[in-house]
């Protein structure tokens, strides 16, 4: 099975590119599901038909679904949410709308929508799942949430089920804090298990790849480069760049003549910045990219002789070389002044701008201090001293 995730800045045409790809792959005979995790769904608009929270048949071999994040949230953590609500209202805080608002953790609803990817993957009903994600910032939050949420749960609820059964009544009486019941622990175990499976799936580069959609405009390209760096920081594989909304030559006359040079410079920057990654160029079309017929034709135009269902590119991101005793981390488009590195016991904490990621120390380096780090050709090279 393949999972292809489309991401990019808002307004670059992610939904259209994802829908056209879905048509192209379905036309090859594979069973395809395209799903939208963006709360501002527009997948139904692209296909020009209503789409709900359960798979809707679009055409032969192609189904579509728009994830209802509120519904998935209630299904995924009802008992745990009830326990947090009980804590917040335990000392007379009341069961009001303020309590409800406090329980809306940023990114949590989007995380539960990601569980639907896991659900459809494990169902085995489809050969390919295509995901139309929210704009860049929300997508990054979504992809790093399984790791972050697992850490939060471990800190907020470190108490074990057995401890609650023996000491719970005493703690509740003395500390005036309600102890979780068995169904809360069942929710936690269920969530943690699904997050572990989801994370393992998303990091499987033979199954999952991301495609960044951009346009030939400086602001959008810069965001695509930042997005590219952060995705590699979190070990996700970007296997293609799709450059959308390229003005055709006949449209660059008269009033738009000044755009000729700007677009040429932008396309040159894209070619230089993403030189290793396959790039697909899409001209601005004379018609709106909606309806089945238009999207089917668009899929053929984008990919030509390429097979969009293949993993089009794969790069090793994190590698420890025993001979040189050096850990290499690939961080394309990062700059030396944006990087920060520190050691936290048996983990490395790497920061790029405002993004932070923990890496386990490679085998054989545990307990050894970092003695140096240099940034060369997109790689951060980290060396270690004696234990």
Residues 275-299 pLDDT 10s: 889 999 999 998 999 888 999 999 9
Q: Strand pairing of 347-352 and 339-344? A: antiparallel
Rounded to 5 degrees, what are φ and ψ at 366? -60, 135
Residue 181 CA to residue 168 CA, distance in Å, equals 10
pLDDT at 355: 80
Beta bridge partners of 280: 242
Q: Is 191 exposed, middle or buried (0-12, 13-18, 19+ CB in 10 A)?
A: buried
The residues, ordered by sequence, that sit 6+ positions from 110 with a Cβ below 8 Å of its Cβ are: 37, 39, 69, 134, 138, 141, 142, 145
Residue 177 CA to residue 93 CA, distance in Å, equals 13
Rounded to 5 degrees, what are φ and ψ at 139? -65, -45
Residue 251 CA to residue 249 CA, distance in Å, equals 5
Residue 194 CA to residue 345 CA, distance in Å, equals 28
pLDDT in tens, the chain (387 residues): 999 999 998 889 999 999 999 999 999 999 999 999 877 788 999 998 999 889 999 999 999 999 887 677 666 665 666 666 665 665 555 555 555 554 555 556 667 778 889 999 999 999 999 999 877 555 566 566 656 666 666 665 555 444 455 445 544 554 455 555 666 666 777 777 888 888 889 889 999 999 999 999 999 999 999 888 888 888 889 999 999 999 998 888 888 888 889 999 999 999 999 988 999 999 999 899 988 899 999 999 999 999 999 999 998 887 888 888 888 989 888 988 989 998 887 778 888 887 887 777 777 787 788 899 999 888 999 998 887
**Nearest C-alpha neighbor of 280 from the set 251, 313, 316, 236:** 313
Q: How many residues does the chain have?
A: 387
pLDDT at 161: 47
pLDDT at 163: 46
Helix axes 108-123, 182-202, angle to 10 degrees: 70
pLDDT at 258: 83
Residue 225 CA to residue 181 CA, distance in Å, equals 46
User: By the 8 A CB rule, do 13 and 40 touch?
Assistant: no
Four-CA torsion 231, 234, 237, 241, nearest 10 degrees: 0
Q: 352: helix, coil or strand?
A: strand
Q: Rounded to two decimals, what is the model's pTM?
A: 0.81
Q: How far is CA 146 from CA 218, 237, 356, 371, in A?
A: 32, 17, 14, 31
Q: How many CB atoms lie within 10 A of CB 59?
A: 15
**Nearest C-alpha neighbor of 363 from the set 379, 343, 346:** 346
Q: Is 132 exposed, middle or buried (0-12, 13-18, 19+ CB in 10 A)?
A: buried
**Nearest C-alpha neighbor of 191 from the set 88, 75, 104, 84:** 75
Query: H helices of 157-258, where?
Result: 161-175, 182-202, 218-233
Residue 295 CA to residue 378 CA, distance in Å, equals 37
pLDDT at 105: 54
The residues, ordered by sequence, that sit 6+ positions from 152 with a Cβ below 8 Å of its Cβ are: none
Domains, in order of start, for the chain? 1-315 (3.40.50.300), 318-384 (2.60.40.790)
User: By the 8 A CB rule, do 172 and 178 touch?
Assistant: yes
Four-CA torsion 73, 74, 76, 77, nearest 10 degrees: 100
């Amino acid at each position: 099975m393949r999972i292809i995730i489309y991401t990019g800045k808002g307004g670059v045409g992610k939904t259209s590119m994802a829908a056209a790809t879905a048509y192209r792959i379905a036309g090859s005979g594979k069973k395809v599901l395209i799903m939208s995790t963006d709360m501002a769904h527009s997948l139904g608009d692209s296909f020009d038909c209503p789409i709900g929270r359960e798979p809707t048949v679009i055409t032969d071999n192609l189904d579509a679904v728009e994830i209802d994040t509120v519904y998935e949230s209630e299904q995924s953590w009802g008992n745990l949410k009830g326990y947090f609500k009980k804590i917040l209202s335990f000392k007379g805080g009341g069961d009001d709308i303020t309590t409800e608002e406090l329980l809306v953790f940023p990114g949590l609803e989007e995380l539960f929508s990601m569980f639907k990817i896991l659900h459809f993957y494990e169902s085995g009903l489809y050969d390919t799942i295509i995901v139309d994600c929210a704009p860049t910032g929300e997508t990054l939050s979504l992809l790093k949430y399984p790791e972050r949420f697992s850490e939060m749960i471990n800190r907020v609820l470190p108490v074990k089920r057995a401890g609650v059964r023996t000491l719970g009544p005493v703690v509740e009486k003395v500390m005036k804090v309600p102890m979780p019941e068995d169904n809360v622990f069942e929710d936690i175990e269920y969530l943690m298990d699904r997050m572990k499976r989801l994370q393992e799936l998303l990091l499987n580069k033979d199954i999952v790849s991301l495609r960044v959609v951009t346009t030939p405009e400086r602001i959008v390209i810069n965001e695509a480069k930042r997005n590219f760096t952060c995705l590699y920081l979190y070990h996700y594989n970007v296997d293609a760049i799709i450059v959308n909304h390229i003005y055709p030559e006949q449209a660059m006359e008269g009033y738009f003549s000044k755009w000729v040079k700007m677009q040429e410079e932008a396309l040159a920057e894209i070619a230089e910045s993403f030189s290793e990654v396959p790039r697909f160029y899409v001209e601005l079309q004379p018609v709106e990219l909606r309806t089945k017929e238009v999207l089917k034709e668009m899929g053929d135009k984008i990919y030509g002789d390429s097979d969009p269902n293949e993993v089009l590119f794969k790069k090793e991101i994190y590698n420890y070389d025993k001979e040189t005793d050096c850990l290499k981390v690939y961080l394309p488009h990062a700059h030396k002044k944006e990087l920060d590195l520190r050691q936290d016991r048996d983990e490395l904490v790497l920061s790029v701008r405002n993004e932070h990621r923990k890496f386990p120390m490679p085998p054989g380096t545990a307990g050894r201090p970092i003695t140096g780090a240099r940034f060369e050709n997109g790689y951060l090279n980290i060396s270690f001293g004696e234990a």
